[in-house]
Amino acid sequence: MFGRKSESWLIVGLGNPGKDYTGTRHNCGFRAIDALAGELGCKIDKGKFQGLYGQTTYLGKKLFLLKPQTYMNLSGRSVLQLSAYYNIPPQRIIVMFDDISLEPGRLRVRADGSAGGHNGIKSIIKELGSEAFPRVKIGVGAKPHPEQDLADWVLSTFSASEEKVLSASLPYAGKAALCIVEKGVSEAANQYNGFRP
């Protein structure tokens, strides 16, 4: 029904649903996908596949934007359900998420790889049975004290100065994802790796 030009892509933003998690480090993926949806004029308001999603077109390609509503540790269930239904392979699933190894607001594009300790990515790898999906990592800063609990850190909010940088950076995470769709991972990495506003 759809030709090659209408191939489907899925862009996922990771986070936890509910007011308690709004503004936390772990919810950068949600914020990045919201910014991208605004840029594309796409409403993420369809409730299905254990998530909220929207659908639009970009350069003749079908684009799905997804916010899993399963909580972070089970994100892969939502990603698998939508991608299986619309027959989207891992190579066309782009995941935007928080990374504690990068300073706040810094971006990094990757073609594939391990979970690196991120439970959302771990779940997606498990459900898809593949590590071969592109990612846009959004820096949220490292724990200030090594002994601090990781869960407490990623569920904390940003300082005013961090928030300023992060807010400026989030739209570029979406631009990096669109660059992957249009020009491929290598070009997106060349343009956005190390980016920070």
pLDDT tier at 4, thresholds 50, 70, 90:
very low
Q: Please provide residue 127's backbone torsions phi and psi, each rounded to the nearest 5 degrees.
A: -75, -40
- Find the mean pLDDT for residues 190-194: 97
Domain that holds residue 105: 4-192
21 lies in a domain? yes
185 lies in a domain? yes
Indicate whether 2 pLDDT > 80: no
What does the pLDDT read at residue 176?
Answer: 98
pLDDT tier at 11, thresholds 50, 70, 90:
very high
| β-bridge partners, 107 | 138
The whole-chain average pLDDT of the chain stands at: 95
Q: Examine the residue annotation and report whether 26 is marked as an active-site residue of this protein.
A: yes
Please give the model's pTM, rounded to 2 decimal places: 0.95
HEC string of 72-106? HHHHHHHHHHHHHHCCCCHHHEEEEEEECCCCCCC
Percentage of residues of the chain with pLDDT beyond 90: 92
- How many structural domains are present in the chain? 1
197 lies in a domain? no
- Find the mean pLDDT for residues 81-108: 97
- Find the mean pLDDT for residues 181-190: 98
Instruction: Indicate which CATH number applies to the domain containing 33.
Output: 3.40.50.1470
pLDDT tier at 5, thresholds 50, 70, 90:
very low
Q: H or E stretch including 13?
A: strand 8-13
Indicate whether 16 pLDDT > 60: yes
Indicate whether 175 pLDDT > 50: yes
125 lies in a domain? yes
Active-site pick, 25, 26, 77, 175: 26
160 lies in a domain? yes
What tokens does 56 get?
A: 């639009």
- Find the mean pLDDT for residues 84-108: 97
52 lies in a domain? yes
* Spatial CA neighbour of 26 closest among 88, 71, 79: 71
81 lies in a domain? yes
| β-bridge partners, 46 | 53
What does the pLDDT read at residue 147?
Answer: 87
